[in-house]
């Protein structure tokens, strides 16, 4: 009985540890996305009218990287997910996420200057 209780406690502790790590990772990702969220909703809402889409398209065209342009266009103008874009461009989802973050920062810099 004691061995069974010990095994149960070890299992419970391991599940708790795994859950804690998953929650921690989710918080880190959410915090990172929220710091960029200042720009994302603006672009998403900005792209709703046809006149604003032209401005966004010009900003996208002014980006220095063709890969970055393709990723931002697919994510925001075609409303695709990072996973869908990753499959289309034969990249990882993490790679798409990094490109998105860099290009949004670049677009923000371009709009502020």
State the SS3 of 41-71: HHHHHHCCCHHHHHHHHHHHHCCCCHHHHHH
Confidence of residue 79 (pLDDT cuts 50, 70, 90): confident
Per the CB < 8 A criterion, the answer to whether 67 and 102 are in contact is no
Task: Indicate the pTM of the whole model.
Answer: 0.54
Determine the Cα–Cα distance for residues 90 and 78; give it in Å rounded to an integer. 18
Determine the Cα–Cα distance for residues 1 and 84; give it in Å rounded to an integer. 51
Per the CB < 8 A criterion, the answer to whether 32 and 105 are in contact is no
Confidence of residue 65 (pLDDT cuts 50, 70, 90): confident
Determine the Cα–Cα distance for residues 89 and 86; give it in Å rounded to an integer. 5
Tens digits of per-residue pLDDT, 28-41? 777 776 655 544 44
Per the CB < 8 A criterion, the answer to whether 43 and 68 are in contact is no
Instruction: Return the top range by mean pLDDT from 55-59, 62-66, 106-110.
Output: 62-66
Count of other CB atoms within 10 angstroms of residue 51: 6
């Amino acid at each position: 009985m004691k061995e069974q209780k010990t095994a149960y406690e070890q299992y419970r502790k391991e599940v708790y540890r795994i859950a804690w790590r998953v929650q921690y990772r989710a918080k880190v990702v959410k915090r990172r996305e929220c710091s960029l969220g200042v720009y994302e909703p603006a672009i998403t809402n900005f792209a709703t009218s046809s006149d604003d889409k032209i401005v966004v398209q010009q900003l996208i065209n002014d980006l220095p990287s063709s890969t970055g342009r393709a990723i931002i266009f697919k994510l925001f103008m075609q409303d695709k997910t990072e996973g869908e874009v990753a499959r289309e461009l034969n990249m990882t989802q993490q790679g798409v996420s990094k490109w998105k973050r860099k290009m949004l920062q670049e677009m923000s810099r371009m709009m502020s200057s």
